[in-house]
């Protein structure tokens, strides 16, 4: 009996210690230093405990073909999601990426970026190829679990379009026109009713910023995200929390994404993205 009690005591102690470690790992908002020596804000990637079933970390360039994957290549986050079909995401730690797809009846979205949104982030990018993607876009989510789910504003999916073959503005409510970094954008808002999201099947808003002309291939550009956040807010469209692990399926990531839906033919889109914010 004494040996059994002793084993039971050590087993309970180990479980208590493990629980304390998990709770400590799930505390967001820590300040860290990245591989470039700069301070990093937002939750630590190692905190994504509840997403570990499909979150991976790679030290080198990687290729993804499965239906759903998120993770990091060194400090660079990626998302790769599809509901069918054949797509491949290739990326490395320097932000080089390419997405290849085959024609068919499915939806795909994926690309590199960060596992949290930051309203003060400036995103640099260059697109090298575009074989007919529905969108190449800065793409992300905000989510506030304290808001009622009956309010679509509790969950927001946002797009800052740079290239597209499908025009989303025809289905949206116009917001305003503004200029950012010399580019004229128009904003739109639409509603998705009971559709897949980072928080299971939900009803949520989509915010769009669409430039007057598409960005050219082979040139360096930047997106000043704060300008878009302000333009949306000017119309009463607020993004909820972009820096949390509260959603059920994914963190509130922000990526340079390639999206294709029901592609009629095979294609490839490629480029590079980087953080162009002032350090």
| Rounded distance between C-alpha atoms, residue 96 and residue 159, angstroms | 20
Going by C-alpha positions, the residue among 134, 128, 155 that lies closest to residue 144 is 155
Q: Six-digit token pair at 276?
A: 């162009």
The catalytic position among 94, 184, 194, 259 is 259
DSSP string covering 211-255? ESSPPPTT-EEEEEHHHHHHHHHHTT-----SS-S-SSS----EE
- The catalytic residue among 94, 157, 194, 216 is 157
Pair 116, 253: CB distance under 8 Å: yes
φ and ψ at 49, to 5 degrees? -65, -45
Answer yes or no: 157 catalytic: yes
Query: Cα separation of 127 and 140, whole Å?
Result: 19
Cα–Cα distance measured from residue 44 to residue 179, given in angstroms and rounded to the nearest whole number: 34
Residue 216's CB: how many other CB atoms inside 10 A? 11
Give the tokens for residue 28: 């967001």
For the question of residue 129 being annotated catalytic, the response is no
> Which of the residues are catalytic?
157, 259
């Amino acid at each position: 009996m004494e040996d059994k009690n002793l084993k039971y005591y050590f087993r309970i102690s180990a479980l208590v210690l493990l629980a304390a470690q998990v709770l400590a790992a799930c505390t967001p908002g820590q300040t860290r230093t990245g591989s470039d020596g700069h301070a990093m804000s937002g939750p630590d990637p190692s905190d994504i405990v509840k997403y570990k079933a499909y979150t991976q970390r790679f030290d080198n360039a990687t290729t993804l073909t499965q239906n759903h994957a998120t993770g990091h290549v060194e400090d660079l986050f990626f998302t790769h999601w599809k509901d069918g079909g054949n797509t491949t995401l290739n990326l490395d730690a320097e932000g080089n990426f390419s997405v290849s797809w085959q024609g068919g009846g499915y939806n795909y979205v994926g690309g590199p970026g960060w596992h949290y949104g930051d309203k003060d982030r400036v995103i640099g990018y260059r697109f090298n190829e575009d074989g007919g993607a529905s969108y190449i876009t800065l793409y992300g989510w905000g989510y506030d679990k304290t808001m009622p789910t009956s309010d679509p504003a509790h969950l927001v999916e946002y797009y800052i379009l740079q290239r597209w073959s499908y025009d989303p503005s025809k289905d949206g409510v116009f917001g305003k026109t503004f200029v950012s970094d010399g580019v004229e954008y128009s904003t739109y808002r639409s509603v998705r009713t009971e559709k897949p999201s980072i928080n299971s099947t939900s009803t949520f808003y989509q915010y769009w910023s669409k430039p007057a002309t598409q960005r050219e291939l082979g040139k360096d550009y930047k997106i000043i995200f704060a300008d878009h956040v302000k333009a949306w807010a000017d119309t009463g469209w607020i993004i909820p929390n972009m820096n949390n692990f509260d959603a059920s399926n994914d963190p509130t990531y922000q990526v340079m994404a390639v999206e294709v839906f029901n592609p009629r033919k095979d294609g490839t889109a490629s480029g590079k993205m980087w953080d162009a914010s002032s350090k």
